Structure 1
Amino acid sequence: MPPSSSFDHRAATADDLSEIVTFAQNAEELFFCYPKADWPLSVGQLAATMAERRDSTVALLNGRVAGFANFYQWQYGDYCALGNLMIAPWARGQGVAHYLVTAMEQLAREHYHAKRMQVSCFNANSAGLLLYPKLGYSPSGIVERRDRQHQRVALIQFDKAL
């Protein structure tokens, strides 16, 4: 990441949604971060999923919304499962995902007293598969899923002690 980069994060708001829905550049990218969504991602779809999830958070890079994530599962005192991790195309490769995952780990500890974080990544998502081990996540399982074309895909599950 450039030395002049400034990172911050805050709770996502309704005003952020129109920006966040532009992060996935195609149907495959959307499937990686939100498998149940229909392409193209709409504000309505994202608002509905935010209502069902917890701690929807945006990462800011130099004051601009650059990433989004939330928890799709949370078990107080045990674990949180990270979901909907999306990075703006203009911000990729600048450390936003690393920053945002670390921020979400802190939220998991603070809000849920989580002892571990779980993440899942589809086999074709090489960026995610390379990111999570760098952040200390270890593979913990592989589950068969179906993509939008009903083809078999592998969902690789990762776990990290907090």
Structure 2
Amino acid sequence: MLLTHRPVSAEDVLTICDFPQTPQELFFMFPKAQYPLTEAQLLASIAQRSDSTVVEGDNAVVGFANFYSFQRDGVCAIGNVIVSPKARGKGVARFLVETMVGLAFDRHRASEVQLSCFNENTAGLLLYPQLGFVPFGVEERVSQDGRRVALIQMRKIRGDGRYRMMSLFR
């Protein structure tokens, strides 16, 4: 599948709202949202964040992410990461996170990119270290069903040797 990325558009929102298939998937993507994800919830999140980005493959939107924190020459934090159920296991998450890292380092000149992953999100916990992210903290949170869960904070430092400059974002 050939993957491309672009800024999110209003026409993408309903498609993205269908990506989380369970309350747990929505919790991993957007802990403050109520299942099912609605257009209003997603639009409110997009309005408060930066660089909301979609990945397209096979002429369809197959992934979404943005920055919930972004500081020029500082730290960009990736959030709202989600992949279409039909596109999972096909490299979309890898492409999406690498795209967001490129935006952070090149467009925002960030010195560090952070993301957080819940301890029950096995796919994320296996992917992010492959992309050069290293755990640096753990926060206790409460899951959507009231259980204690761990939110693992990870970061990737500019110049750690694993980042390739992507001239596409200049």
Match of 1:26 among 22, 25, 30: 22
Unaligned runs of 5+ in 1: none
| 2:47 paired with 1:47 | no
1:86 corresponds in structure 2 to 82
Match of 1:127 among 119, 123, 127: 123
Q: Which moved more, 1:19-28 or 1:139-148?
A: 139-148
| 2:6 paired with 1:7 | no
Q: Which moved more, 1:103-112 or 1:28-37?
A: 103-112
Return the offset for 1:110.
2.6
Name the CA distance, whole Å, in 2 between partners of 1:137 and 1:108. Answer: 14
Name the CA distance, whole Å, in 1 between partners of 2:59 and 2:157. Answer: 30
Superposed CA deviations along residues 118-158 of structure 1, whole A, max 9, x for unmatched, are 01000111011011011111111111111122321100011
Return the offset for 1:50.
0.2
Match of 1:137 among 129, 133, 144: 133
2:32 corresponds in structure 1 to 36
| 2:59 paired with 1:67 | no
Aligned alpha-carbon RMSD (Å): 0.8
Name the CA distance, whole Å, in 2 between partners of 1:63 and 1:160. Answer: 31
1:154 corresponds in structure 2 to 150
Match of 2:104 among 102, 105, 108: 108
1:76 corresponds in structure 2 to 72
For residue 136 of structure 2, give the secondary structure of its aligned residue in structure 1.
strand
**Match of 1:153, as an amino acid?**
V
Name the CA distance, whole Å, in 1 between partners of 2:84 and 2:145. Answer: 25
**Match of 1:144, as an amino acid?**
E
For residue 31 of structure 1, give the secondary structure of its aligned residue in structure 2.
helix
Name the CA distance, whole Å, in 1 between partners of 2:137 and 2:64. Answer: 25
- The aligned length equals 158
Task: Percent identity, please.
Answer: 48
Name the CA distance, whole Å, in 2 between partners of 1:147 and 1:14. Answer: 30
Return the offset for 1:79.
1.2
Output the TM-score relative to the length of structure 2: 0.91
